[in-house]
A and B are shown apart, each in its own frame.
Chain A
Amino acid sequence: MQTSNDILQAVRIEKTFPGTRALDKVDFHLRRGEVHALLGENGAGKSTLIKCLTGAYRRDGGTILLDDVPVDPRDTFEAQALGIGTVYQEVNLLPNLTVAENLFLGRQPRRFGMVDARAMNRRARDLLADYELDLDVTRDLASYSVAIQQVIAIARAVDLSGKVLILDEPTASLDAHEVAMLFRIVRRLKAKGLGIIFVTHFLEQVYEISDRITVLRNGQLVGTRETSSLDRRELIAMMIGRELAAEIHAPRAEVQEGPLRYRFRNYGRKGRVRPFDLDVRAGEVVGMAGLLGSGRTETAELLFGAHRADSGEAEIDGRAVDLASPRAAIRHRFGFCPEDRKTSGIIGDLSVRENIVLALQARRGWTRPISRAEQNRLADHYIRALDIRTADREKPIKLLSGGNQQKAILARWLATEPEFLILDEPTRGIDVGAHAEIVKLIEALREKGLSLIVVSSEIEELVAYSTRVIVLRDRAHVAELDGNRITADQIVEAIAATDERRTS
C-alpha cells in the first residue's frame, strides 16, 4: 500500500477523549495530485483525524509520514510550515482586515520598517490572479461573499504550505455556481500535484470532484475505495452502517394509532426549511432522516419556536396555536432536546438538580418556586429512573459524561410532563450503554401516549423506534415512509435519490 506516490500517510492513528475513543487505529493515505474525499456522519471522527493531521490535536498513537518523512506537528503553524494547509467551513480569516492583509498577515512586505501597502496589494492581486479572482484587495474581507472568502483562504493556505490542502466542508454555504468555481480551482491545484483532502456531506460533490473516498464511522476506518467503483447506495451504507440495523431492530409490538393531535400546514421559514406539512398522532414517533444540513435540525427548531415560522399554521387538537417562542411551545407542553448539548442544552455550572427542574420552574414562573424538597424528589426520581450516573444531585452538570448530560436534559423535559417531545440527535456522542437506554426510553414514552419527533443521523436507530420516517434533503421534506416501508434500505434510497442540487 505504501508507495512513494503517497504524499501523506497516516498509519494507525489513535485519539482518545475522556469517555470516548474518537479515532481507533485509523489508516489514511493521500496521493500526490488526487482529491480524496473523507466521509462519515457527525462523530465519525473526520474532524478529529483532520485535527491530528494539522496538529490542532496531538494524536495518542500512530505515525504520520509526509513525503515519506515522519512528522509530528505540534500546532497548526508547524503543520503549515511542513506543508499541510487547512481551510475550514467557517472561514478562518479575519473579516475586519483587508483581503491583502489577510493573505499576508505576519509576513507583510516592508520598506523602511513600514508595511509597504502598495507592494503587498500588488502581490495579493498577483496571487489571486492565479485563482481567477480579480478584486479590490484593499477592501475588507467581510465585503466579499463566503465563496470568495473561501478562495482567499485557499490561496493563503496553499501559498503558506503547498503540499497538502485540507478542505473541511468548504462548500456548505455556497450555491451551485460558486461550487463550480471552487471546483475549477481545486482541479487546477490537483494538476499542480497537491494532495487534497475534501471533507463534505454533499455526496454529488464527492462524485463530481474526488478520485478516492475514505469512510469513517464511530472512530473507525470503514474503508478506502476508488470513487469510480463505488456506487452511491454502497457509499451511504458504508457511512451509516446499515448492516447493523438487523441487530438493533427488535420486533416491535403492534402500535396503536392514537388520535391525530398536531397538525402543521405549509409550515416553514425562509432560509431555514422549505414549507412542509406534518401530522403527528398521540403515541407516535416520527423520525427525521437526512444528511447533515438537510434541514432536519431546522425543522426541529421551527416546531419548538426557537425560530419563528414565517409561513403556514400550526394546530393542536384542532385549535390553531401560535408557536412564536420556546415559551409558547412549552405552554402547549412541548419539549426540546437540542442537538448541541453544550451551547444550547446544559447550564454547565448549575447542578444536576437545577438542570432537571429548570424547564418546569421556568414554566411555573419565578414567583412560584418549586420547594427544595420537591426539587430533590424530582431530581432523585429522574436520576434513578433514567439511571443518570452522578455522585450526587448537586454535582455541576458539566462534570458529567455526555450520555448522562443528555439524560439529565431529557429529565428536564420529562419533569414538565410533556405531550410533544422533540429530540435532536439524542444519542450523539454518547457511549453504547447510554445509547441503548435512550432508545428504550423513547419507546417507553411512545407507549405512554406521547408524540415524539426524533432527528437522528443513525438510520438503524430510526428504523428501530420510528412509527413513521420523514426524509429530508436540501432543506425540504422529500419523502415519508411508514409501516413496512421503514427499512434502512428504503431510507437510504430516499436520501440518496439523486437530487437537483444544481439549480442553475
Chain B
Amino acid sequence: MTSFFKLYFNRLLPQLIALGLIIMAVSLVFPGFLNIEIQNGRLYGSLIDILNRGAPVVLLAIGMTIVIATKGIDLSVGAVMAICGATAAAAITSGHSVPATLLITLGVGILCGLWNGVLVAVLDIQPIIATLVLMVAGRGIAQLITEGAILTFNDPGLIFIGSGSFAGLPMPVVIWLVFGMLIAVLVRRTALGMLIEAIGVNRQASTLSGVLTPVLLNAAYVLCGLCAAIAGIIAAADIRGADANNAGLWLELDAILAVVVGGTSLLGGRFSIAASVLGAIIIQAINTGILLSGFPPEFNLIIKAAIIVFILVLQSPRVRTAFAFLVPARGARNPSERAAK
C-alpha cells in the first residue's frame, strides 16, 4: 500500500510544487493569506475561499479529464452548465421539490453528454467539432428555458448547495471532494480507468482486444455532462438564480487548461483525476492570489497565459526529446516505473 501512495505522490509532485510555490508567493505579499478561522462552526479564510470558488472548474475538470483521456475534448461543458443551471432554477420555481429538481437537472446533464457521445462514438465526428454544436446552441437553449431573464429562486434547500456548509466546509467543496473521490474510486477501483486509457492510446487495438469502445466513449461524454450539471447547480445556487448568459462562460477553456496543467496529455492516454483537480485549484489560486496580492486583476490573464505557455513548452514532444537528451535518467521519472522498483 505504501508503494501505491508513493506512486500517487510522485505523479502529483509537480502540481503540488507549483501550488506550494504559488501559495508561498502570495502569502509573502499578502500575509493573511494562510489564516483560517472558525466562525459559527464553519471555516473561513483565503485558502477555503480558493477551494470554494474553484468548485465549478474542479468539477468540469474531472469530467474533462476522462474525455481527454479518450483522446477527445468537450467544448460544450460551459454551455451545459448554463442549461443545467437554468433547468434547476426552472424546476424549483415551478414547484418541484429539491430532490426532484436535482434529479431532473442531472438527467438533463446526462442527456447533453449523451448527445455529444453519440456524435463522437456513433457518427464518428471529430470531438472538437461534435461538441462545438452544443457549445453554440447550448446558451440559446438555456435562455429558452429561463426565457431570457435571470431566473431567481429562494428555495433554502437549493441555496444550501451553493452557500451552506457541512462539517465546517462550504458545500461546494464538500460536493467536489466527495464527487471527485467517487469518480476516482470508480475509475481506479474498477477497470474503467485502464480501458479508457487503452482507448485513448490506441482505439483500434483496443477494439480488436474486445474493449467496448463506443459504449465507453459515450460513457466518458455522459460523465462529462453529469459533471457540468453538478457545476451548473452549484453556480446557480451560489447566485440564487440562473444566468443563462454568463453561467459557466468560457469555463470549458479553464477546465481544459486545468487538465493540461494536471499533466494529462491532450493526445489521450494516461490520466490522473487528482492531478486535474490540483490543476483547477492552481488556476483558482492564481486568480485569487493575484486579487489578494494587490496586483491589478488585469494581470490575471497574462500570468495564466504565461503558465500555459510554460507547460506547453514542457509538454512539447520536441522539447521533451531535447530534455531527455540532456538528462538521460529522465526515463526513470516515470512514476509507475519508479514505484515498481
Asked if A and B form a direct contact in the complex, defined as CB atoms under 8 angstroms apart, the reply is yes
Binding site for B on A (CB under 8 A): 304, 306, 326-327, 330, 336, 338, 343-351, 354, 358-359, 361-370, 392-396, 412
CB of B191 within 8 A of CB of A361, answer yes
CB of B195 within 8 A of CB of A361, answer yes
CB of A393 within 8 A of CB of B340, answer yes
CB of B202 within 8 A of CB of A366, answer no
Report chain B residues within 8 Å CB of A361: 191, 194-195
* CB-based closest 7 A-B pairs: A362-B210, A330-B210, A369-B191, A394-B340, A362-B211, A359-B209, A366-B191
A348 to B286, CA, bound (A): 36
Report chain A residues within 8 Å CB of B341: 392
CB distance from A79 to the nearest CB of B (A): 26
CB of A394 within 8 A of CB of B336, answer yes
Q: Which of A343, A349, A358 contacts B209 (CB 8 A)?
A: A358
What sequence of 0s and 1s flags, for each residue 185-220 of chain B, a beta carbon within 8 Å of any chain A beta carbon? 000011110110110011011111111100010000
What sequence of 0s and 1s flags, for each residue 301-341 of chain B, a beta carbon within 8 Å of any chain A beta carbon? 00000000000000000000000000000000010110111
Report chain A residues within 8 Å CB of B336: 351, 394
Binding site for A on B (CB under 8 A): 189-192, 194-195, 197-198, 201-202, 204-212, 216, 269-270, 334, 336-337, 339-341
A367 to B215, CA, bound (A): 13
Q: Evaluate whether A369 and B190 lie within 8 angstroms (CB atoms) in the complex, with A348-B202, A350-B201, A362-B195 already known.
A: yes
Q: Evaluate whether A392 and B210 lie within 8 angstroms (CB atoms) in the complex, with A347-B201, A350-B197, A370-B191 already known.
A: no
Given A351-B336, A362-B206, 12 other A-B residues pairs in contact with their CB atoms under 8 A: A343-B202, A343-B205, A345-B205, A347-B197, A350-B194, A350-B197, A350-B269, A358-B195, A361-B195, A362-B195, A368-B191, A392-B341
A330 to B208, CA, bound (A): 9
Q: Evaluate whether A354 and B204 lie within 8 angstroms (CB atoms) in the complex, with A392-B337, A412-B209 already known.
A: no
A120 to B206, CA, bound (A): 47
Q: Which of B190, B216, B340 contacts A367 (CB 8 A)?
A: B190
Report chain A residues within 8 Å CB of B189: 369
CB of B205 within 8 A of CB of A362, answer no
CB of B205 within 8 A of CB of A354, answer no
Report chain B residues within 8 Å CB of A394: 336-337, 339-340
Residue of A nearest to B337 (CB): A394
A–B Cβ pairs within 8 angstroms, 16 of them: A327-B210, A327-B212, A330-B210, A336-B208, A343-B202, A343-B204, A347-B202, A349-B197, A354-B197, A358-B209, A358-B211, A359-B209, A362-B195, A363-B210, A369-B191, A394-B336
CB distance from A449 to the nearest CB of B (A): 22
CB distance from B308 to the nearest CB of A (A): 23
CB distance from A133 to the nearest CB of B (A): 35
A37 to B270, CA, bound (A): 46
CB of B212 within 8 A of CB of A362, answer yes
Q: Which of A326, A347, A393 contacts B198 (CB 8 A)?
A: A347
CB distance from A309 to the nearest CB of B (A): 17
CB of B191 within 8 A of CB of A326, answer no
CB of B198 within 8 A of CB of A354, answer yes
Report chain A residues within 8 Å CB of B195: 358, 361-362, 366
Classify the interface of chain B: helix, strand, loop or mixed: helix
Report chain B residues within 8 Å CB of A350: 194, 197-198, 201, 269
Report chain B residues within 8 Å CB of A304: 208
A284 to B112, CA, bound (A): 51
CB distance from B189 to the nearest CB of A (A): 7
CB of A344 within 8 A of CB of B205, answer yes
Report chain A residues within 8 Å CB of B197: 347, 349-350, 354
A412 to B202, CA, bound (A): 15
CB distance from B80 to the nearest CB of A (A): 24
CB of A354 within 8 A of CB of B337, answer no
A364 to B190, CA, bound (A): 11
Report chain A residues within 8 Å CB of B339: 394
Residue of A nearest to B269 (CB): A349
CB of A347 within 8 A of CB of B210, answer no
CB of A347 within 8 A of CB of B340, answer no
B189, B201, B210, B270: which has the most chain A beta carbons within 10 Å?
A: B210
B190, B198, B205: which has the most chain A beta carbons within 10 Å?
A: B205
CB distance from A45 to the nearest CB of B (A): 27
A347 to B211, CA, bound (A): 12
Residue of B nearest to A416 (CB): B210
A395 to B212, CA, bound (A): 25
CB distance from B112 to the nearest CB of A (A): 23
A326 to B211, CA, bound (A): 9
Q: Evaluate whether A344 and B208 lie within 8 angstroms (CB atoms) in the complex, with A349-B269, A392-B340 already known.
A: yes
Q: Evaluate whether A366 and B190 lie within 8 angstroms (CB atoms) in the complex, with A343-B204, A351-B336, A394-B340 already known.
A: yes
CB of A347 within 8 A of CB of B206, answer yes
Residue of B nearest to A351 (CB): B336
A396 to B331, CA, bound (A): 11
CB of B212 within 8 A of CB of A347, answer no
CB distance from A148 to the nearest CB of B (A): 29
Report chain A residues within 8 Å CB of B269: 349-350
A362 to B216, CA, bound (A): 11
A392 to B341, CA, bound (A): 8
Report chain A residues within 8 Å CB of B337: 392, 394-395
A370 to B339, CA, bound (A): 20
CB distance from A51 to the nearest CB of B (A): 22
CB distance from B13 to the nearest CB of A (A): 18
CB of B202 within 8 A of CB of A326, answer no
Report chain B residues within 8 Å CB of A395: 337
A363 to B208, CA, bound (A): 12
CB distance from A494 to the nearest CB of B (A): 30
A351 to B201, CA, bound (A): 12
A395 to B336, CA, bound (A): 8
CB distance from B321 to the nearest CB of A (A): 15
A336 to B207, CA, bound (A): 12
A326 to B209, CA, bound (A): 7
A330 to B202, CA, bound (A): 19
A343 to B334, CA, bound (A): 24
Residue of A nearest to B215 (CB): A366
Residue of A nearest to B197 (CB): A350
A346 to B207, CA, bound (A): 12
Q: Evaluate whether A348 and B201 lie within 8 angstroms (CB atoms) in the complex, with A366-B190, A366-B195, A369-B189 already known.
A: yes
Residue of A nearest to B212 (CB): A327
CB of B201 within 8 A of CB of A362, answer no
A336 to B341, CA, bound (A): 33
CB of B198 within 8 A of CB of A358, answer yes
A330, A343, A354: which has the most chain B beta carbons within 10 Å?
A: A354
Report chain B residues within 8 Å CB of A346: 202, 205
Residue of A nearest to B187 (CB): A366
